[in-house]
Structure 1
Amino acid sequence: MLSHEVQSNREAKHAGIQFIELPQQWDEIETAPGTYASEFATIANQVYPALDTAIVLSLNPIDTNALRVPKHLRESTWESDERIKAFCDWVDWTLAQLPDASIQAIAVGNEVDGWFAQHPDELAGYKAFFDAVARHIHTKHPNIPVGVKVTFGGRTGKLASEFDKLESSADACMLTYYPLDETFQVRPPSSIEADFVKMIEVASGKPIHLLEAGYPSGAACGSSLDQQAEFIDVIFVAWDKHVEAFPVINFVWICDMSKAKVSAMTRYYGVELPAFAEYLGTLGLQTHDGKPKPAWNRVRENVAKRAR
């Protein structure tokens, strides 16, 4: 498994990719108060510096619609000293496992709008939590940008003003972007330019880190291999036009997920729509066994064109 991962990342590096995202779920890592275990951070410290590839850390007390706070802290509130200190201690431990790595940014939570759509009363507390965590990271690592990952739909939806407040102490507007409707049907690639303009509007002058950008190729999502490839072309054109606002874009993923992984992810998210499984299973730029889709070739071609 590790050798396949290394090979995939070597291919990605050859295609022009400069960073990867390393997601870490808080409750998986801190198994008891102050007790941590994560082999992935150690592996990342060995692999990515050797590939001259930076890391975006996604340290998640929330992962989309799932709370990832360790059990021993579930009775505390977001703004409590106990929860804030515990998270900051975990941040320090994680960074200590990556002494050789280049940390491009830290996201405190992944697509947190999934949780707050059901728990909007917790947003004020999470802002206090994030403000304290950001201050802690800035004190020790002033050159690492800190933010919170939110979906494009959530950041521009009915809680947009609350996310404006949440991001007031963030260094960047960190977004994920999958042009889909609520039934996981793709929107046309022609919508990308307007979406980029909307992102710039809500970011209010902050740099936009598009930490996940993807487009499924599956027919159940109303898509195709050609349409996924068109998405790549159009997003590069939009990026050219707005490059100063978008310092980084991360295309998700290199390879399609296995059927077993897709099944596990649909159970995790609790979404049973067939199109959702198709969306998860066909986001890759290559098939699960590593055969390039047209979209992978388009990434390579677009990077090569701009490297001249």
Structure 2
Amino acid sequence: MTSQAPRAERKSNFFLGFILLPRAKREALSAVYAYCRLIDDIVDSPDIPQEEARSQLDFWRAEVDRLYAGRPTHPISQALAGPIAEFKIPKEPFLEMIRGCAMDLEDTRYETITELESYMRGVASSVGVMCVHIFGWDYTARERMMEFARDFGYAFQLTNIIRDVGADLELGRVYLPLADLREAGYSEERLLAREPSEAFQHAMRKQHARAKEYYARARGLVDFRDRPRLLPAEVMGHVYEGLLDEIARGGFSVLFQKARLSSPRKLVLALRAWLYCHGF
């Protein structure tokens, strides 16, 4: 494992946070990224049948056990052994990642936000827990730091869900809570037909407000003295929240297109994250 980011990683918002770390932490984060990417690809690849995907996830559950017993057999888990020991990354988030991704093999609908949060804890908050152990902290109570990782994970994943409504429909997946659609006077059937309406806008405004609450709640959990060490997380947070707000300003035009931020805009948001973390 080198200190360079994998090619896919270089194309992601993850990379902006990655480049701000010293070498040992870059290598650790790269190893975590490779693991998370692999687990995600198992359930998202159109070339892997569901039963084969389940079998591969079973292998990785057992492989995580072997990793923490000091006997990893796969190159990706072998690359994780050093970072886990150095940064004391717990076992649970690796298993949570598998649990969350496995839900995509069984559940493609979520009735309530509580159900959706269970999914987001698996696929996103688990990554946050791994990452904050690598970033480190000194002043925030451990319980509050774990809540920060959870809520930032919720915020990032809900931003992704809002951005990817149309793309997820192509995969037969609906992540917007169905209860929220009904409350807005919309329906799953209208969503599947990609019908834009004021009801759809109302449902999306609710998701936007919820995501904004996650971002704010997460930041309120951290002792300000730990912000500089969490700069990589805040760079990603500022970029994701900037994307969220851009989607809102564009009228939630997500049924047929996928919003993106320009590289210059991302750099501006990264600078704002630096200023925030250093008390400006």
TM-score by length of 2: 0.37
Q: Considering fraction of residues, name the structure with more helix.
A: 2
With a CA cutoff of 8 Å and minimum separation of 6, indicate the structure with the bigger relative contact order: 2
More strand per residue = 1
TM-score, normalization by structure 1? 0.34
